[in-house]
Structures are given as C-alpha cells and as structure tokens.
Structure 1
C-alpha cells in the first residue's frame, strides 16, 4: 500500500513539473517524423525512436528530478519518515517507466498497430526503461550540479549506446552482446520480424541481470551520497 501511494505521489510530482506535457510533445513529434519518412525506413526509425523514449528520456528526466529534489533539500525531510530508500528508488523508477511505456505504445501503434508480438515489444520498453532510469538516478545521486550530471551521463550513455551501431549495420563486435541495449534492440525488433526464442531469453536475462546490477549500484550510491550526508545510515 505504501509503495502504491509513493508511485501515485511521484506521478503527481512528474505531472506538476511538466513531464507528461514534455512526453506528449516529444511523442507527437516522433509520430509526425515517422509519417514524413519513406515507408521503407519507418520500421528501423520506429525502433530507434521508441528506444530513445525509455532510454535517453528516462535517463535524463530522472536525473533532472533527483537534482531538483536535492536542490530543494527534499531528502532532508523525506527519510525521517518510514519511507525506505529502496521504496524511493522503485517508486521513481516505476512511475517514469509507466510514462515511457504509454509514450512508446502510442508512437508505435499510431504507425503500425500491434499485429505481432506486442508483449515482447512492450517487455523491451519496460526493461529498457527500468535499467536506464536506475542508471540515471545513480549518476544524479553522485552529482551536485546539472553540468556535472551532463558530463558524467555523457560518458555513461556513450558506452550503453554502442549497440546502435550494430543495429544500423555500421560496426559489429561480440562485445555488444554483454551490453543491455543489445537485448533492448532484439526485443524491440520483434514487432517487425520473428526473433528466435533463445535470443528472446538471452535478451530478457541480459536486461534483468543489468537491472539487478544497476539496482545494487544505485542503492550504494544513495547510501553514500545521500543518506550519509544527511547523517543517516540508510537503514
């Protein structure tokens, strides 16, 4: 019940700060852009644009939200309540993931409908959003300013964006197969082409594994850069 209340509060907070309006404008822009492209390019463009919703937008939106809370000293009062750090992390992650899934669904359905593999496609959106939102949160916990966040996030996102080169057939290397975004592209591609079940299993397990690592890293970052500076132990 407390988690549901926390998610509802975060949704209201995101709405108050214009996140939903921003996602709506971006989604409408993506939809118009897809309609302007040649039919032969729309499928690839749809995967790329859909990918940016849960990844780049989720990453930078959560970063901005955390830095906003730090700037207003919200954390000083938030954790004198029974609210646990893990609940804070999951509430922020799931509320933004919901927004990403709605946006991605609208972008895709507006152009192609859902004739094949909607479950796999949306699973890809969900897992990708969870991972990048956690990653953005962890980076934001370690930064004191927006400039610092953008500098550090550029380094982090550059590495995870490398599998785009494989998707675009620019450059391929086995190294991509240890990065979570390789799994993201496999699941998103399932909306347009059959993907062997072994590759689907690999993609889901890869993303789930990275999400687990990201969660542990974010929890450590939270305790070190937020709780200890507030004089708490994070328990």
Structure 2
C-alpha cells in the first residue's frame, strides 16, 4: 500500500509538471462554453456524449502520453529493478487519472446544468469509463516509442470505441451493441441525466467491471512483453 501511495503521488507530480492538469482545465473550459450554447432542455441528451468524448482525451490519450514520457525518460526501464509491481504501476495510473477525470467532469456538468443530475451514476459512469480507457490506452501504446507511430492505431481504437454512440443518437440500433463494452458505460452516463431501467444500471456496472478486470490482466501481460522483455 505504501508503494502504491508513493506511485500515485509520483504520477500526480508528473502530470502536473508536464501540463496535464492545465490541459484538462483548458479542455473543461472549452467544453463548458460549448455546452452553454445548448438549450437547457437538450442538456440531458448531449451531456453524456460530451462527457464521453472528453474522457477519451484525459484518460486514453493522457495514459498514452504518460507512458511515452516515461519511456523517453527511462523511467519504465528503471521500474523493472524497483520493488514496484506491474499491478501497482497500473493501479497508480488508474487512481491518479481517474481522480482527475472524475473531478473535471463533475465540475463541467455542475457548471453547465447545476445539480440537476444523479451524482452517484455520474461518478460511477465516469470512473468506470476512465479505468477502461486508461487500461486500453496502455495496451495500445505499450509497443510504441513515439507519438507518430501511436497516432494511427489510436485513431482506429477510439473510432471502434465510439460505435455505441450510433445507438445512442438513434442512427443504428441493435441488441448486438450490448456486447460492446462502451455501451455499458454510456448507459450509466445516460442514467445520470435521464431515467434508465434498473437492469440497465446493473448491466452497466457489472459489464464495465468485467471488461476492466480483463483489460487489467491483459495490461500486466503487455507490460511484461513490451516493457520488460522489450519485444516488438
């Protein structure tokens, strides 16, 4: 536990030193300004979309940025000879980035809509989505050493993650989308602003948690292969 606390503090300092907090604040202001242009009646519909899109930046891409920074500074190679376990390294990233994105999105939503939302479902939706995106960001970036090589694969991944939005906006609706992990998270975010069925909330929490567990296990194997063994 002491190692994890130290790792979380290190991550937060690294994020602050490299401008991640300032970037998150800047994006939050821009999103809030855009959302203020919508009529109040439209906010329950558009807020989940904006929150989901914002989290793609400060979870998936922030995680990728941190890994590339640590690779460039030789930090990851140094971690191999320290007592910090792979699981603790990943857990520290999950804690630090999830706290950042939960705080940012709660501030955005409150600034735009006041307190007319379900805080518990918002935090659950943002927190679970953040963990999912962070781990997927690590899995995607682990094999790359530069942002240029990472960008194209990341676009493919994030585009695939956006598929459930087609169902949300009514463009393409299919029960098969309930197999997509992001569908679970969209339902939780939707539930923060609109009525949803109890079974959808239960499905959202359990299915999202399952995917996070699977990605955490996969991330440990990816860490061993691409960071420790340095395979390509």
* TM-score greater than 0.5 by the shorter chain: yes
Contact persistence 1:3–1:91 (CA under 8 A)? yes
Which residue of 1 is the match for residue 68 of structure 2?
Answer: 67
- Aligned-partner Cα distance in 2 for 1:55–1:176: 19
Give the superposition deviation at 1:134.
0.5
Which residue of 1 is the match for residue 178 of structure 2?
Answer: 177
- Aligned-partner Cα distance in 1 for 2:198–2:192: 14
Taking the TM superposition and a 5 Å limit, the aligned residue runs for 1:130-149 are 130-149=131-150
- The number of residue pairs the alignment matches comes to 230
Which residue of 1 is the match for residue 44 of structure 2?
Answer: 43
Question: Any stretches of 5+ residues in structure 2 without a counterpart?
Answer: none
Cα RMSD between the aligned structures?
Answer: 1.4
The 10-residue stretch of structure 1 (14-23 or 110-119) with the greater mean CA deviation from structure 2: 110-119
Which residue of 1 is the match for residue 169 of structure 2?
Answer: 168
After superposition, what is the alpha-carbon deviation per residue over 1:154-205, rounded to whole angstroms, capped at 9, x for unaligned? Answer: 2222222100111111111222101121111111111222222111110111
Give the superposition deviation at 1:96.
0.6
Tell whether 2:221 aligns with 1:220.
yes
Structure 1 segments, 4+ long, off by >4 Å, are none
Which residue of 1 is the match for residue 84 of structure 2?
Answer: 83
Give the superposition deviation at 1:6.
0.9
TM-score by length of 2: 0.94
SS at match of 2:36: helix
After superposition, what is the alpha-carbon deviation per residue over 1:95-136, rounded to whole angstroms, capped at 9, x for unaligned? Answer: 011100011000111122334421011100000000000100
SS at match of 1:229: coil
Give the superposition deviation at 1:42.
2.4
Which residue of 1 is the match for residue 108 of structure 2?
Answer: 107
Contact persistence 2:139–2:222 (CA under 8 A)? yes
Question: Any stretches of 5+ residues in structure 1 without a counterpart?
Answer: 231-235
Which residue of 2 is the match for residue 196 of structure 1?
Answer: 197
Tell whether 2:232 aligns with 1:206.
no
Tell whether 2:9 aligns with 1:8.
yes
After superposition, what is the alpha-carbon deviation per residue over 1:52-82, rounded to whole angstroms, capped at 9, x for unaligned? Answer: 2323431011101101111222122222110
Contact persistence 1:54–1:97 (CA under 8 A)? no
Which residue of 2 is the match for residue 97 of structure 1?
Answer: 98
